[in-house]
Amino acid sequence: MIAVIGAGAFGTALAVSLARNGPVVLWARDKDHVKEMQATRQNARRLPEITLPQAVTVSTDLACLADADIVLVSVPAQKLRAFLKSHGSKLAGKPVVACCKGMERGTGLRPTQVIAEHVGDAVPAILTGPSFAQDIAKGLPTALTLACADEPMGEHLQARLSTPNIRLYRTTDVTGAELGGALKNVIAIACGVAIGAGLGESARAALMTRGFAELVKVAETYGANADTLAGLSGFGDLVLTCTSEQSRNYRFGQSIGAGETFDTGLTVEGAATAQALEEIARDAGLDLPITHVVTGLVRGELNVRDAMDKLLQRPLKEE
């Protein structure tokens, strides 16, 4: 049996898709939310209009993890450590697949590193790539990256987690896959700002291209394979997140660019990741101009005009 921790939109969508292969337990901490889902067979709060298959059991009881041979953890990156500190012992000895994208503020750690710290004998993996929850839940075709340093376990997870509409590609470059998924959210905010402020499609294309260069620079600094960043978890995810209003990071950037308020109840991983990356870049001596201005915009230290001027007035150089 497969267990999915976290009944947000993405966790619910994965549970719906994986139920085509067999029984799935979907865990949520909010008892009222769970009762709603049990009664209506829908997650109206996070993924409306999608019916939960009968193969999905919704529960607040983490005892269900005892029967799970694979655990997918779909909680926000900034809340992952708190969950694992409280419940990591229940995941001991199991393959634990992170289904979140980001870098932890204060430590700069990636999801699999946080899992390794808190789950004894865990085999950490990451599921990442260009995907929206609605598409997955509706059964639309999606291709994702499954990254696991343990190659035999990666092959096992690839076989178990592939579904009729989700095609998984496997890699052992966990670092590259995680960094691609985390950093593209920062660039998506920048692209949203450009469109929200009326700076045009050409500006977005430039930000995506130069943003990709920042992704590769950071990944190589951490010893990742640059080819991984050219795949689904890097370039593929970057394209999707920077061009669609389904992306919360992109919409968040749009709201900044347009001078509008944004729903504070929605998780925007790129905002926290930008600030975590800013700290890392400073310590490592990395020049990440787009990340720098996104951090300034998120903190309210820069306005859009100042951010644009900072990028356009940089010294001319070879590409």
Catalytic positions:
184
52, 16 contact by CB (below 8 A)? yes
- Return the structure tokens found at 300: 């309210």
Sequence length of the chain is: 319
User: 66: Cβ–Cβ under 8 A, 6 or more apart, which residues?
Assistant: 90
Q: What is the DSSP code (8-state) at residue 60?
A: S
Residue 184 neighbours by CB distance under 10 Å: 33
Nearest CA among 144, 153, 154, 89 for reference residue 115 = 89
- Please name the residues in contact with 103: beta carbons below 8 A apart, sequence gap of 6 or more: 77, 109, 110, 182, 272, 273, 276, 277, 280
Alpha-carbon Rg for the chain in angstroms:
19
Q: How far is CA 245 from CA 53, 62, 128, 225, in A?
A: 28, 34, 19, 30
Alpha helices in the chain (DSSP H): 9-18, 31-40, 80-87, 111-118, 133-137, 151-161, 174-196, 201-221, 226-229, 237-243, 248-258, 269-284, 289-299, 304-312
Amino acid in the structure at residue 108: G
Strand 142-147 with 123-128, pairing: antiparallel
